[in-house]
Structure 1
Amino acid sequence: MITVTNANKRYGTFAALDNVSIDIPSGELTALLGPSGSGKSTLLRSIAGLETLDDGVVTIAGKDVTDVSPQKRDIGFVFQHYAAFKHMTVRDNVAFGLKIRKRPKPEIKKKVDDLLEIVGLDGFQHRYPAQLSGGQRQRMALARALAVDPQVLLLDEPFGALDAKVRADLRTWLRRLHEEVHVTTVLVTHDQEEALDVADRIAVMNKGRIEQVGTPADVYDRPANEFVMSFLGAVAKLNGHLVRPHDIRVGRDPSMALAAHEGTAESAGVTRATVERVVQLGFEVRVELRNAATGDLFTAQVTRGDAAALHLAEGETVYARATQIPELPVS
């Protein structure tokens, strides 16, 4: 368990952390998610001991480490940029921390071989970092961080410098790796899809504060406020309500009777709208609509089958309603 209590960190007049408290459960992967400047990297670096808090306490496994040096916190740290030793082979890079700790050679060999197999680099032992792809170098960095059996693994935008396809592949790999090693892991990311894909829990940060902590389903389906809802996935505004585009039903029938079980969606009513644009997005279709009553633009997301059945085309009149509206606090 990692516990941060009443953490404050200022840079001049800028509050990077504003009285932040969070519990990070042992063995779970927790994502710190937020826009640039939200404080997520400062919080991670404070856990690592790379930032000194103005106020507050950090404990790891029940031990107060607030004033303990990073080298003595028993953590592994992986940055966005690989920080590999370019003159060392993959094997020597991964073994580096074990050699510094003067572990026996047979132990080092077995540990490195096991880790390289786990991270999918078996057979790459004698290559140098320049001979690896970006994704392979990042997997090597993770193996190096795990080699010393840290209590905590801290990942600061580890896939941020990679292209979208490689990031998606590494997200899947990271989730499998975590399920195998079960080390307490904290991941900093600004990528909502990445957080939803890999994390057991997500802490959404904004302006140095934590807005909400919960499972991916909690923060997506039951956002604590408008910021969380707007940051964590696409939103549309329909008759004064924030809704998910995939929760907007589009049809040709102006009645579009509301089902009782859809609860608060009744308050949004049925809206007449004009199709402004239809965009094919792979297996989905984004329909950009203009509210006939207010002139406001909003977006609905429908399946390709529904779009074809409705014969959606620019300039045509359709009717829309929300099937689900999250209950947000009144501001």
Structure 2
Amino acid sequence: MITVTAARKHYGSFLALDDVDIDIPSGSLTALLGPSGSGKSTLLRAIAGLEGLDGGTVTIDGRDVTAEPPQRRGIGFVFQHYAAFKHMTVRDNVAFGLTIRKRPKAEIAKKVDDLLEIVGLDGFQHRYPAQLSGGQRQRMALARALAVDPQVLLLDEPFGALDAKVRTDLRQWLRRLHDEVHVTTVLVTHDQEEALDVADRIAVLNHGRIEQVGDPVTLYERPANDFVMGFLGSVASLGGQLVRPHDIVLERDHAAALALDAKVADSPGVITATVERVVPLGFEVRVDLRADSGERFAAQITRRDAAELGLREGETIHARATSRSTVVDHDPALAI
């Protein structure tokens, strides 16, 4: 268990952490999610001991480590741009932490071989970092961090410098790796899809404060406020209410739309709008719309629905929310 209590950090007049409290359960994979400047990397570095706090405490497994240096916290750290030793082979890079701890050579060899197999780099032992792809270098970085059996693994935007396809593959691999090794892991990301895909729990930060902590389903379906809803997925303003674009249904018949909408609790109502653009996005279609009030919003519908509607730019259409529309839940118990 990692517990951060009343963490406060200033950089000059800028308040990076504003009395942050968070508990990170042992064995969990927790994502710190937020925009640039929200405090997520500062919080991660404070847990690691790379940033001192102006106030507050950090405890790991019940031990107060607030004043302890990083090397005494039992932490493995992986940055976005991992500085591998270019003159060392993959094997020697992964073994580095064990070597400086003067572990027996046989123990090092077995540990390194086991880790390289786990991270999918078996057979790459004698290559150099320059001979690896970006994704392979990050796998090597994770193996190196895990080699010293850290209590906690901290990842600061580890896939941010990689292209989209490699990022997708690596985050799926990271989830599988975590399920195998069960080390308490904290991941910093600004990518909401990455957080939803990988994490058991997500903490959403904004302006140095935690807006909400919970599992991905709870945060997506019961956001504590408009910021959480807007940051954790696309939103559209329909009749003054925030809803998910995929929870908007388009109807040609106004009377039918009204009849169906009457069954939706707390509905924002049926909005008459003009189709401005129809954008195919692979398996779905985004429809950009302008309401009669002048408000612009977008709906995401299936290709089948788009084909049945036969939408064209300039046409009038009627939009309504489904019963699955996400409504911001202002229950104080959901927020931190």
Please state which band the TM-score falls in when normalised by the shorter chain.
Answer: over 0.9
- 1:264–1:325 Cα contact (<8 Å) kept: no
Paired with 2:301 and 2:105, the residues of 1 have a C-alpha distance of 59
Tell me the residue number matched to 2:265. Answer: 263
- 1:82–1:141 Cα contact (<8 Å) kept: yes
Tell me the residue number matched to 1:299. Answer: 298
Question: Shift of the alpha carbon at 1:99?
Answer: 0.8
Question: Shift of the alpha carbon at 1:312?
Answer: 0.8
- 1:291–1:297 Cα contact (<8 Å) kept: yes
What is the letter of the counterpart of residue 311 of structure 1? Answer: G
**Identical pairs, percent:** 77
Cα displacement string for residues 152-172 of structure 1 (whole angstroms, at most 9, x for unaligned residues)? 000000000001110001010
Paired with 1:95 and 1:263, the residues of 2 have a C-alpha distance of 59
Paired with 1:240 and 1:259, the residues of 2 have a C-alpha distance of 16
Helix, strand or coil: the match of 1:117? Answer: helix
1:326 aligns with 2:327: yes
Q: For this pair of structures, how many residues does the alignment match?
A: 327
Paired with 1:171 and 1:73, the residues of 2 have a C-alpha distance of 26
After TM superposition, the structure 1 = structure 2 runs for residues 1-331 of structure 1, keeping only pairs within 5 Å, are 1-255=1-255, 256=257, 257-258=259-260, 262-265=264-267, 268-292=268-292, 294-323=293-322, 324-329=325-330
Helix, strand or coil: the match of 1:193? Answer: helix
Question: Shift of the alpha carbon at 1:327?
Answer: 3.3
What is the letter of the counterpart of residue 264 of structure 1? Answer: D
Q: CA RMSD in A?
A: 1.1
- 1:32–1:204 Cα contact (<8 Å) kept: yes
Paired with 2:4 and 2:262, the residues of 1 have a C-alpha distance of 44
Deviates more, 1:14-23 or 1:317-326: 317-326
What is the letter of the counterpart of residue 316 of structure 1? Answer: E
Paired with 2:218 and 2:265, the residues of 1 have a C-alpha distance of 19
Helix, strand or coil: the match of 1:153? Answer: strand
Cα displacement string for residues 150-202 of structure 1 (whole angstroms, at most 9, x for unaligned residues)? 00000000000001110001010000000000000000000010000000000
Question: Shift of the alpha carbon at 1:305?
Answer: 0.3
What is the letter of the counterpart of residue 298 of structure 1? Answer: F
Helix, strand or coil: the match of 1:228? Answer: helix
Paired with 1:329 and 1:104, the residues of 2 have a C-alpha distance of 57
Paired with 1:80 and 1:216, the residues of 2 have a C-alpha distance of 23
Compute the TM-score of the two structures, normalised by the length of structure 1.
Answer: 0.97
Paired with 2:262 and 2:55, the residues of 1 have a C-alpha distance of 51
- 1:226–1:328 Cα contact (<8 Å) kept: no
Q: Which runs of 5+ in 2 are unaligned?
A: 332-336
- 1:241–1:325 Cα contact (<8 Å) kept: no
Moved over 4 A (4+): none
Helix, strand or coil: the match of 2:278? Answer: strand
What is the letter of the counterpart of residue 19 of structure 1? Answer: D
Question: Shift of the alpha carbon at 1:205?
Answer: 0.2
Helix, strand or coil: the match of 1:81? Answer: coil
Question: Shift of the alpha carbon at 1:285?
Answer: 0.2
What is the letter of the counterpart of residue 264 of structure 2? Answer: E
Question: Shift of the alpha carbon at 1:263?
Answer: 1.9
What is the letter of the counterpart of residue 76 of structure 1? Answer: G
Paired with 1:119 and 1:249, the residues of 2 have a C-alpha distance of 44
Compute the TM-score of the two structures, normalised by the length of structure 2.
Answer: 0.96
- 2:222–2:326 Cα contact (<8 Å) kept: no
What is the letter of the counterpart of residue 56 of structure 1? Answer: G
Paired with 2:111 and 2:200, the residues of 1 have a C-alpha distance of 27
What is the letter of the counterpart of residue 304 of structure 2? Answer: G
Helix, strand or coil: the match of 1:120? Answer: coil
What is the letter of the counterpart of residue 22 of structure 1? Answer: I
Question: Shift of the alpha carbon at 1:260?
Answer: 6.5
What is the letter of the counterpart of residue 100 of structure 1? Answer: I
Helix, strand or coil: the match of 1:262? Answer: coil
